[in-house]
Amino acid sequence: MAGIDWHHVGSVAWMISTAAIGLGFVIFVHELGHFVVAKLCGVKCEKFYIGFDFPLSIGPLRLPSRLYHVQWGETEYGIGILPLGGYVKMLGQDDNPANAQREADRIRVPKASADGDAATSESSEQPIETVLDPRSYPAKRVPLRMAIISAGVVMNLIFAVIFAAFAFSAGVPYTPCEVGGTIPGSPAWRNGLTPGDRIVQLGTSSRKSDHLRFDWDLRNAVGMAGDREDLQLVVKKANGKEESVSVRPMVTRLDGDELPMLGIEPATTTQLAAKTPVIPGYSASKATPALKGGDRIMAVDGEPIKNPTHLLHILAARAKEPVTLLLERATDSKSPAQPQQVTTTVPPNYAKRIGLALAVAPISGIQPDSPASQAGLREGDQLISIAGEPIGDPMTLTNRISAHYGKEIEIKVMRNEGGAKAEQSLRITPATPDSYENTFTVGSPMAIRSLGIVFPLIPRVAEVLKDSPAAKAGLQAGDEIATVAFASDDPKRKPDALINQGKPFALNEALTWPFVFDRIQSFGSDDTLVLEYRRANQLATVRLKPAVTTETYADRGFVFAPLTETRTAESWSEAVVLGLRQTTEDASRVFGFLKKLVSGSISPKNLGGPISIAAVAGAEASQGISRLLMFLTFLSANLAVLNFLPIPALDGGHMVFLLAEGIRGKPVDERMQVALTLAGVACLLGLMIFVFALDIGRFFL
């Protein structure tokens, strides 16, 4: 039995504990604001709790309401069993409407006692005049109560700035908004974004910055835009010129989730990833001598590498031949610090195929300034032949065209002109692509990067290749692919490790045939493709084992480390300015999200609950304290905005009641307050159940 990886266990424990402490501190800061200002205003604080001390029961098991508590002076400090927030219990104030009357009675004291005199009465039958306890919350003037209620939000905003300032002073590592590549057919591809471009502005209301974060600023901006409105970008090209681009994100629907995307891949480096430098089974894993994590590729076949885009360009152009790499390799701690140079040879990678050629649909997209655009190809053109050869299997087109890079060839299409179809012959010069031709991802249509065109594939078999696994299984031209599933013959392999958890899926805009083809390339001996097909209205199923062909596959299985940069403030004053700016942007982002949520522009499915928050916090904690502090900045700004919404039971709801009291000169009717508070509590509980259900479905189902 394998031993326990205590280093991994320790790392996970550190990540969880760091995230828990960070989240707990954000809550603590909020409640501390209420507590401190209440004390300064002379209000008695009876409890200060992180978490709620509600009695909980699981069947016959009754859980304690609190994990820890201590009485110190007049206040009980504690940690509640329910880690969903915190509260300060002030004399005369209770968020539970059921306790309103009892609390109101409890804070009535004899007038003489309130004045500091001994309580006396001439007759035991005469009622004693009572007043509000001067140390109770209701006894304070409206401005003081407003200060107490708003203190939590103000404290969150102050500490958001502090969190961000400390992060920037230490240095915040991030993935910059630099284009590493674009998915063919995506909005970014259609708008001409190319590798090396850097996005410096998102939307018209934000500032320009060279430090926008790919995995935070860009993803949030795209999520906010959805597919209902354009996202305005300012892009700095490789030559330093800036261009304004208006992009409408597309939405990919996968497993019931809607994923807005521009189709931009993050930039990478020329250094191999530390933990997994190559994909097992690909030719990079057969390099001699072997590649190691952290190796930096300095040259390919003697040609020095200028940048990651140049590296991919060379590898794409030489897909059919072995390549010799000059590597810079770090030495171990016992050797001199100077990196050593290593030369290794990587053989070509060979494609795995099942032998099915699907039918080709008309061209659905043409990249700006591409060979196809210059040759006069149009959307809607139906490909007939390329370089004198019929289309055949579209998945082999990229390799067949690679022999003609830089050479003019003929392409024939069927074009609809004025309602009549006519064959057109055009001259086109394929260009060496800036990335691998035949690699695809979720949402990829069939693409020929060297021409700059995309077109869908119809889930209907146009041809079955002779002696292929598909031919041996009895598949025929005209069969319609109903569903596809990825299976494993290994009984120990869990369904979670398979695409779509091993469940069958129909080919669609997200799970395309090119995507299936790409995943087949990483199949091991235990992997199987299960196809359900329809022939003459009858359904049948076949299990196919892909066969290795003599056709090369451009991607050799290198796994490159992502490009990261660090933003560090040069002084504390700059750190505070950056922290203030970050807090303002984060709070504005929350306001914008809520506005779109109310208007229906964003699906409520995009909400995240405590599990999502903890997961993101843990992921950020694993990237370092600075990244965690930046997330806590966002969380603090988020908590400040949400808590100040005009919803009864939240601080914003209390503020509305206080404003009404200040204007009217008397409190809002108690029965109305109770009714509205109950409604607010019901809404919040419903929302809590909803986001919990989303989290459970997102992480466990």
Has residue 224 been placed in a domain? Answer: no
Has residue 686 been placed in a domain? Answer: no
Q: How many CB atoms lie within 10 A of CB 575?
A: 21
Lookup: tokens for 369: 């300034």
CA angle, residues 119, 123, 129, in degrees to nearest 5: 45
Q: Where are the beta strands (DSSP E) in 119-191?
A: 130-132, 172-174, 179-182
Has residue 504 been placed in a domain? Answer: yes
Query: Do 500 and 391 fall within a single domain?
Result: yes
Last residue of a domain, one of 492, 523, 545: 545
Last residue of a domain, one of 351, 373, 394: 351
Sign of CA dihedral 233, 252, 215, 194: negative
Has residue 110 been placed in a domain? Answer: no
Tell me which residues of the chain have a pLDDT lower than 50.
Answer: 1-2
The three-state secondary structure class of 679 is helix
Query: Do 436 and 323 fall within a single domain?
Result: no
Pairing of strands 349-353, 547-553: antiparallel
- Percent of the chain residues past pLDDT 70, beyond the cut: 93
Q: What is the CATH number of the domain that holds 274?
A: 2.30.42.10
Q: What is the pLDDT of residue 560?
A: 95
**Helix (H) and strand (E) counts in the chain:** 16, 37
Query: Do 455 and 376 fall within a single domain?
Result: yes
Query: Do 324 and 440 fall within a single domain?
Result: no
Pairing of strands 172-174, 565-567: antiparallel
- Give the model confidence (pLDDT) of 510-536 as tens digits: 889 999 999 999 888 889 999 999 999
Has residue 678 been placed in a domain? Answer: no
Last residue of a domain, one of 525, 545, 565: 545
Q: What is the pLDDT of residue 205?
A: 72
Query: Do 338 and 370 fall within a single domain?
Result: no
Query: Do 288 and 370 fall within a single domain?
Result: no
Instruction: Look up the domain containing 296 and give its range.
Output: 268-351
DSSP codes joined into one string, 522-545: T--TTEEEEEEEEETTEEEEEEE-
Has residue 665 been placed in a domain? Answer: no
State how far the Cα of 155 lies from the Cα of 86, in Å rounded to an integer. Answer: 14
Query: Do 391 and 532 fall within a single domain?
Result: yes
Q: What is the pLDDT of residue 1?
A: 42
Has residue 508 been placed in a domain? Answer: yes
Q: Is the link from the previous residue into 289 a cis peptide, with omega within 30 of 0?
A: yes
The three-state secondary structure class of 174 is strand
Query: Do 416 and 532 fall within a single domain?
Result: yes
The three-state secondary structure class of 356 is strand
State how far the Cα of 365 lies from the Cα of 451, in Å rounded to an integer. Answer: 11
- Give the model confidence (pLDDT) of 266-296 as tens digits: 999 999 999 899 998 899 999 999 999 999 9
Amino acid 615 reads: A
pTM for the complete prediction? Answer: 0.79
Residues facing residue 483 across a β-bridge: 532
Q: What is the pLDDT of residue 458?
A: 94
Residues facing residue 484 across a β-bridge: 505, 531
Residues facing residue 321 across a β-bridge: none
Q: How many domains does the chain have?
A: 2
Query: Do 371 and 437 fall within a single domain?
Result: yes
State how far the Cα of 366 lies from the Cα of 379, in Å rounded to an integer. Answer: 7
- CB contact burial 369-401 (16+ within 10 A = b; e otherwise): ebbbbebebeeebbbeebbeeebbbbbbbbbeb
Query: Do 389 and 514 fall within a single domain?
Result: yes
Beta carbons of 684 and 691 less than 8 angstroms apart: no
HEC profile of 422-491 = EEEEEEECCCCCCCCCCCCCCCCCEEECCCCEEECEEEEEEEECCCCHHHHCCCCCCCEEEEEEEEECCC
Query: Do 377 and 476 fall within a single domain?
Result: yes
Has residue 617 been placed in a domain? Answer: no
Query: Do 346 and 368 fall within a single domain?
Result: no
